[in-house]
Amino acid sequence: MAYPTDRPATWFVTGTSRGLGLDLVRQLLERGDAVTATTRSTERLLAALGDDVDTSRLLPLTVDLRDEEQVSAAVQKTTERFGGLDVVVNNAGYGYLAAVEETGDRDVRDMLDVQVVGVWNVLRAALPVLRAQRSGHIVNVSSVLGLTAVPGWALYCAGKFALEGLSEALAAEVAGFGVDVTIVEPGYFRTDFLTRDSLALPQTTTEHYPAIRDMVAQHLELQGKQLGDPVKGAAAVIDRVVSGEGPLRQLLGSDSHAYATAKVRALQDNLDAMAATAPATDHPAAA
C-alpha cells in the first residue's frame, strides 16, 4: 500500500471507546486523518475524547459487529462521508478467564462472534473497496495469546488463534491487490482490559481449578500495573501503517516478545523430536 501523502487518510477502527482503540482514534484525529470509529456506545467514546480533540473528521457509529448489515452500512457511510477508505483496524474484543470445563456454550459463541465473525463481517464489507482501488491496509489486533496459550485463557486464545490463521491467509490473498495486512500482538497493556468491564468471567466455577481462581485474582490486582503503554502502542501501530514497512506480525511489548520467543523455542523442540518419526506415515516413495 502507498499510504496517502497528498490528503488525510481515512481509517475505519472498531472497538474504540476504551483502551488501544481509543488512543488510536485520539492520535489519528490529532494527525488530521478522518476516522470512522465503531463502538457499542458513541456517548462513551465522545466523553472519553473530551473537548480537547477536534472531532470534525470523526464519524462515530454504534455498530453491532455481529450484524453483517450494520457493518456493511457503516463501511458505506464511511466512503460516503470521507470519499474513500484507506485503513481498517479490527480492534474490538474482550477477555475471558476460566477453565475450559467452566466455559459455557453461550460464552464460546459470544467470544467467537466478536473476535472471528465480527472481523469477517468487516473484511467482507471493506475488501471490495480496497481491492477496487488496489491499495489499503488491514490491521487485525490479535494478542501474544494468539501465538501461545496459557491455562485459563483457552476461549480468548481460541479466538485469537483463529484470527491469526485468518490474517495469514488474508495477507497472501490480497497482496496482489496492493493491500497490506498487519497482525498486532500486544502483551499486557495498561488499559482497562483486566477490569470487570472488559474481562468476562464464567457464571459458575468448580473447586477443581484453584490455580485459575488465583490467576483471576492476580490479574484483577495487576490492573494499572501492566507493562505496556497504550499511547505508545497506538503510535507504533500508526507508524507501521504510515511507513508501509515491517513484517506481517507486529509484537508490542517486551513481555509479548518473551512469550512469543518461548513458544518458538518449544515448537522447534517439538519439531526436532518428531523429525525421525513424522515420515513413518508417508506412502512409500515411488520407485
Active-site residue set: 142, 156, 160
Buried-exposed string 183-220: b where 16+ CB fall within 10 A, e elsewhere: bbbbbbbbbbbbeeebbbebeebeeebeebbebbeebe
| Contact between residue 182 and residue 76 where contact means Cβ atoms under 8 Å apart | no
How far apart are alpha carbons 256 and 107 in whole angstroms? 26
Phi, psi of 100 (to 5 degrees): -55, -45
The grid coordinates listed for 93 are: 474484543
How far apart are alpha carbons 119 and 85 in whole angstroms? 17
How far apart are alpha carbons 28 and 45 in whole angstroms? 14
The grid coordinates listed for 247 are: 513484517
How far apart are alpha carbons 223 and 221 in whole angstroms? 5
| Contact between residue 31 and residue 79 where contact means Cβ atoms under 8 Å apart | no
How far apart are alpha carbons 31 and 44 in whole angstroms? 22
Q: Name the amino acid, one letter, at 87.
A: V
